Structure 1
């Protein structure tokens, strides 16, 4: 009995002890669970974002943020598995609450993934000319669109701003212009589908990456649409793991970088007196002398700065919230954005609302589907209808307000021809009198399905549909700065409604196989695209009351249709591509595509073009094994043919013009003047494709354990069958016919360098990105075997955009009066080079005096990191560029500011000639003529510059400070956008405030009607006296939950 009792007691004691031990372990395990905060970097000290951090053997996990930081709760001693694309997975044992993890690059991955069109490749395997810019790099510049963010960030990509107004973008060229008369814009692709909307509608915060395809071997995959290069935008997508919520927002204010240096009151009065003294018809007389009010105000010391009175401060704010996450089967991303900007002209504002969704779902091991949608609604007010023109023309000797405090509505009432000039301050706050409203809505929906037919064979089908609608309403009531008519009958309004849609379907079959040292991917694609566009415009006159505006057209006295537009186009394409590599050393990509375009005539609608590129990873060779300073080295070359339809819908059919002609006696419209039609342009059913052949050679290198890397490329292109108007015999009945006759060629070089200059153990890193490029274009052949087409400024053997004009030698001086008289001019007039020495200045003396293309363009970014601080400085420059400074023209035409035109209006200060100031810069003001000869020569200025585009200082708040707020990471920053112009001859000479210009000449408008160049090419940079560019100071935060 005792033995049994003892045995039972021992069992109970053992059970009790085991229970105590288990409870102790459980307690110890609970007590030693800690919140680990860490940061993941690569071997260069750069943050690794979106790295997966998972507890080994468990289900707990998270991901690193943009700064490489993460936070996770685990027990002491647990093992974390840390992995990221292109890096070797690493196991880390938790021994403390703070970790710093450095990931090594995966030599099997060998670089980032590059989107190459209908697929992706490792950067090391790419043989065409491409460049990638990450979303994090773009967002170093806080801008409303990626035009501004991409400027100076990619070699070979040339971006010029086309306006200082809010909501505007720019002109973008990839490796220059190829066509003389057609479209030179690159193709825009978003998430794998051709995008027909505006790039301004894309929220920069939703962009993960931009890949740019530049040479023919890379763009051939997109056929005729990619002939001018391709911008491939990849938006952010979901990832497997815990859902992460992010907020990225900023708010800032902006001011004009300066105002134009116009005459003050006393200087303006002196200018009037000098113009009277220089009167070439009646010396001493000025038809536009100071008015009585101006004379009295001058005595009182009045000097009104109209610019300062009109300009105000603006704001810019952006708020984006996103959620991304998922599991092995489904990944999702939802993004919501709001952007608002107000102008430095009162009552200008723009609001943009955006929403995006990306979903990827794996139905089974073989089937995968997905959906992408991005939607944008943009509303703007009073854009493009600012009163700045009046502020730069009104005399500084006029008072803005009357003695009783009311606005001096029409200050120049005593000034004869200029009495219609109205006080620009009347535009402020008068929303009933002035309305300029635009609403634009666009969406793009893409659906895809992917089926893995066999282990190495998959089929993918994608359908994309995009739609956009733009509504413009404008109303200008009487007695406003935009409408000097004083009666309601003079009130006018207009409405324009434009709508477009596009759908694309592509089906592809891809076979990918790896065997031994061989890798082969073969892809076949069929694609269909259709585009539709239509627009209508109406004008109205005689609105009975201002508040009616465009709300009720029935009450408008006269409604007149102003025009409309309709077109539909279609394209069908077939493509085959093979990508082969042997032993990761020798690379080959071959592409062939055939496209058919509806805009061309039957029999000429289809074209086929091949492309071939090769690559050699030299660093993989045995003879490189002992060259330790070379991390990677690749030589590549490519050749390809691309094409461009180059025309609009229905061009091959010709067009008719409506004209009145006399029918019987009298001149009554509809009775004696009948409406008839004449042939405007002759049809040409033989119109074909513009074809471009291109060759590219490049070297990619990485040295000193990836501390220095870069690319050097040389390219050459030749374009033939360019569409130009060919003159026809008069017997045909029309003057010209569009024909494939032109030829151009171009070549250039591009340089990209990336370096890690300093990297210390204390946490300080300094890295630099640099890129530079130049492009040289040349016309090889013109229509009718012409050697030059003066009307368009085209010359065989010369660049596409040349300056063909008279050459200014200076100003005729008093000592040269006799010699000047030979040419019919006098001291103080512009001296022009007499090329043919015939003692007369005629059109035969015009010559090529320059061109509008820069010698080279460069961008420089310096990044500094020290512990939790980061500093980014982005710079951009254009060198050897000629700009057209329109307000320096004295031609009296509407295309330029009429400098010296009878000395009628306010002027920019210049060093003009007088007998006591014998300068060679600008001629003597002449009150006797409305415009002077050869004044276009005054406008050609050195438009070179170096700008600091942005300075961005950030601080990553330590995770230990975030406590239990549920915040994974928090970065606070302050940013200055467009803070400095380091160097610009135009600014240094006091002739402008920003050499980057107010825009490009999109329609080749005439510059000078009196002895100057007939037209300015579309690629010319124009510096006008428009709304000044701005300098912004921004405060923001990036938060990750």
Structure 2
């Protein structure tokens, strides 16, 4: 259920907008429920001819409370099992075996998870009366976020049984402040020369704190997390911190005769999270635009209504690291020295100082074309981009004897290139009927150019970082493993060609070096990538008189080794070879089903060499269909300005020629832990007066 209500009005001196929204949505799994309430108030006022002020406030609360049973246990659950005992509680062992525990015993007895956001944006704009085109604008933004996460497991749950109940209450709060000061100048000289300049000074501050109270071993669990002080074992954990950022920016654009324009931007950013030597970085960019349709030689070319070319080159930075990551920190621990009757509190370095960790930088070139043809019947844009990201914020592995296993460092280089296309067409337009289409397409290719820059094996090229999945010259998400080339059969046993430790019904893995065994250093190979090949979507809107029909199709496509997934492995599921448990139905190998898609049920338990069969997740999905009818002409005499009734359905059909299971978009396959995607039907009544 969703409901939205808004009120707005305006005059020459002020305008306001007030809205509220409520959502209550149930999922397909027990206790999977989402609630959201939000409200917004916007007010703008022209105090004088040169001073305008405004305020935008908002509040929302999202409620994810409630715990669902474990899906893997639910899938294994027999429909003939007994759910409850004589007192109405869930039985711990509802089936004939004590090796299988009820999925309901995995649920928290009480679960609260709520997130609150309170925000306010104050803005003021002063238009300097005596200087044409000059103005000053201030935007002061404040956002407070806080959350409540409570849970409790009583003695009738798997987690709480051995501890005689356990619970926790965690409070977190986060405050963000952003202050932007902008001086803007925009003026046109001699009707042909336009100058647009912006100067910015910005400050940002963030503070946060958290407190967690935990307890276990209760004499009485009836009050749950409302009485944590009754637990015999209690712990408290608290934390707090702050960070800040400062930025200066200058941007200028010169346009001549609405045909040619050039833009330049310089930005200086500082972030407290970086090292003392590299807190600051400078980023610059520039762009050119040519509006070809305003040229004199284009005036007689009637099919072209608008045509413009864009070219830009520049850089930006990434500051997504945790505060205090670059500081040396001291931690405490407990240690029992030889001969001592109890432990001693010790202190040691928990993280190293990083004096030269700085900004991750992305430099890119972008070119694009905007066009409109045939009296605006066909319009769109085509963009191509090329970027290089250097000094990546990378977790570098360290020898454990150093006292730490990893540390952040600026390493490596990743190259990206891609194409994005957006098209809009008016296919048919008549008095009573109109058909429009919107098409979007995107394709991205990336490549790891360098990581450490080391060649420890002496083969003349930089070493890959196999443990982290980074390979020189390969895309991110590259899959490196054993290649499944078939299934061992009984005839392989009969003719003596089967590998030692393998049986009929086990996956046959490619022996790259031909030594008769499978080893990680010689037989792993590149199998493809988990990244998609390309994405596309198509929206068709048909309007006939007061009716409107919208059909939205969405697709992510792989092929040629793209968009591969190795998660569709039902033969790895728990209890897969147990007759006492329910299981997913899939095409597994048996002596009577030798051409099966998946291996024998005990493949994971008994095969000497194990590999994964990767599947293409390509899909085309009928994402949304919406039918609406305009009721305005029937209700205007009752004081309504307009009214529209609509019926919609989401996630209706999916075509996935290579995927088995529930939903290729989410990667839910045939495994017992997979969850179905929600198919929703909605009726909406929209009106205003």
Asked if these proteins are the same fold (TM beyond 0.5), I'd say: yes
Q: Which residue of 1 aligns with 2:459?
A: none
Are the counterparts in 1 of residues 2 and 21 from structure 2 also a CA contact under 8 Å? yes
Matches within 5 A, 1:425-824: 434-453=109-128, 454-480=131-157, 482-483=158-159, 485=161, 489-515=163-189, 516-561=191-236, 563-656=237-330, 658-665=332-339, 671=342, 673-726=343-396, 736-761=406-431, 763-783=432-452, 785=454, 787-817=463-493, 818-824=495-501
CA distance in 1, matches of 2:384, 2:76: 48
CA displacement at 1:587 relative to structure 2: 1.6
Identify the match of residue 825 of structure 1 among 491, 502, 517. Answer: 502
Are the counterparts in 2 of residues 378 and 440 from structure 1 also a CA contact under 8 Å? yes
Name the Cα RMSD after superposition: 2.7
CA distance in 2, matches of 1:324, 1:508: 29
CA distance in 1, matches of 2:371, 2:90: 67
Q: Which residue of 2 aligns with 1:295?
A: none
Matches within 5 A, 1:849-864: 849-864=527-542
Q: Which residue of 2 aligns with 1:361?
A: 45
Residues 1021-1030 or 800-809, more deviating: 1021-1030
Are the counterparts in 2 of residues 902 and 931 from structure 1 also a CA contact under 8 Å? no
Residues 564/918 of structure 1: CA separation in 2 closer, same or farther (3 Å cut):
farther
CA displacement at 1:348 relative to structure 2: 3.8
CA distance in 1, matches of 2:316, 2:204: 18
CA distance in 2, matches of 1:425, 1:736: 38
1:978 aligns with 2:626: no
CA distance in 2, matches of 1:840, 1:979: 47
1:323 aligns with 2:7: yes
Identify the match of residue 332 of structure 1 among 9, 16, 20. Answer: 16
CA distance in 2, matches of 1:613, 1:737: 38
1:394 aligns with 2:83: no
CA displacement at 1:821 relative to structure 2: 4.1
Per-residue Cα deviation, 1:589-619 (whole angstroms, up to 9, x for no partner): 1111000110112231111111111111111
CA distance in 1, matches of 2:680, 2:400: 59
Residues 634/478 of structure 1: CA separation in 2 closer, same or farther (3 Å cut):
same
Structure with larger Rg: 1
TM-score by length of 2: 0.92
CA distance in 2, matches of 1:775, 1:602: 36
Are the counterparts in 2 of residues 679 and 734 from structure 1 also a CA contact under 8 Å? no
Residues 653-662 or 947-956, more deviating: 653-662
Per-residue Cα deviation, 1:246-279 (whole angstroms, up to 9, x for no partner): xxxxxxxxxxxxxxxxxxxxxxxxxxxxxxxxxx
Are the counterparts in 1 of residues 569 and 670 from structure 2 also a CA contact under 8 Å? no
Identify the match of residue 666 of structure 2 among 979, 997, 1020. Answer: 997
Q: Which residue of 2 aligns with 1:1035?
A: 683
Aligned length: 674
CA distance in 1, matches of 2:174, 2:403: 36
CA displacement at 1:784 relative to structure 2: 5.4
CA distance in 1, matches of 2:611, 2:169: 36
Unaligned runs of 5+ residues in structure 1 are 1-316, 428-432, 892-896, 1000-1020
CA displacement at 1:739 relative to structure 2: 2.1
Residues 1025/401 of structure 1: CA separation in 2 closer, same or farther (3 Å cut):
closer
Per-residue Cα deviation, 1:808-835 (whole angstroms, up to 9, x for no partner): 1111011112555444312221111111
1:848 aligns with 2:517: no
CA displacement at 1:463 relative to structure 2: 0.9
CA displacement at 1:447 relative to structure 2: 0.5
Q: Which residue of 2 aligns with 1:409?
A: 91
Residues 566/833 of structure 1: CA separation in 2 closer, same or farther (3 Å cut):
farther
3-state SS of 1:997 partner: coil
CA displacement at 1:541 relative to structure 2: 1.3
Are the counterparts in 1 of residues 90 and 105 from structure 2 also a CA contact under 8 Å? no
CA displacement at 1:787 relative to structure 2: 2.0
3-state SS of 1:566 partner: strand
Task: Identify, as 1 or 2, the structure richer in strand.
Answer: 2
Residues 904/654 of structure 1: CA separation in 2 closer, same or farther (3 Å cut):
farther
CA distance in 1, matches of 2:611, 2:215: 38
Matches within 5 A, 1:20-31: none
CA displacement at 1:758 relative to structure 2: 0.6
Unaligned runs of 5+ residues in structure 2 are 455-461
Per-residue Cα deviation, 1:183-223 (whole angstroms, up to 9, x for no partner): xxxxxxxxxxxxxxxxxxxxxxxxxxxxxxxxxxxxxxxxx
Matches within 5 A, 1:362-377: 362-377=46-61
CA distance in 2, matches of 1:790, 1:952: 47
3-state SS of 1:551 partner: helix
3-state SS of 2:64 partner: strand
3-state SS of 1:651 partner: coil
CA distance in 2, matches of 1:1022, 1:799: 28
CA displacement at 1:734 relative to structure 2: 5.1
Residues 559/326 of structure 1: CA separation in 2 closer, same or farther (3 Å cut):
same
Identify the match of residue 66 of structure 2 among 361, 382, 400. Answer: 382
CA displacement at 1:914 relative to structure 2: 1.6
Q: Which residue of 1 aligns with 2:595?
A: 919
Matches within 5 A, 1:48-87: none
Are the counterparts in 1 of residues 210 and 238 from structure 2 also a CA contact under 8 Å? yes
Are the counterparts in 1 of residues 584 and 671 from structure 2 also a CA contact under 8 Å? no
CA distance in 2, matches of 1:342, 1:634: 48
CA displacement at 1:912 relative to structure 2: 1.4
3-state SS of 1:599 partner: coil
CA displacement at 1:391 relative to structure 2: 0.9
Q: Which residue of 2 aligns with 1:969?
A: 642
3-state SS of 2:293 partner: helix
Are the counterparts in 1 of residues 486 and 509 from structure 2 also a CA contact under 8 Å? yes
Residues 873/899 of structure 1: CA separation in 2 closer, same or farther (3 Å cut):
farther
Residues 907-916 or 815-824, more deviating: 815-824
Q: Which residue of 2 aligns with 1:75?
A: none
Task: Identify, as 1 or 2, the structure richer in helix.
Answer: 1
CA distance in 2, matches of 1:902, 1:1034: 42
Are the counterparts in 1 of residues 424 and 439 from structure 2 also a CA contact under 8 Å? yes
Higher relative contact order (CA 8 A, sep 6+): 1
Matches within 5 A, 1:198-213: none
3-state SS of 1:886 partner: coil
TM-score by length of 1: 0.62
Residues 1031/660 of structure 1: CA separation in 2 closer, same or farther (3 Å cut):
same
CA distance in 2, matches of 1:833, 1:691: 41
Identify the match of residue 874 of structure 1 among 541, 552, 565. Answer: 552
CA distance in 1, matches of 2:606, 2:5: 57
Residues 373/474 of structure 1: CA separation in 2 closer, same or farther (3 Å cut):
same
CA displacement at 1:925 relative to structure 2: 2.1
CA distance in 2, matches of 1:358, 1:389: 47
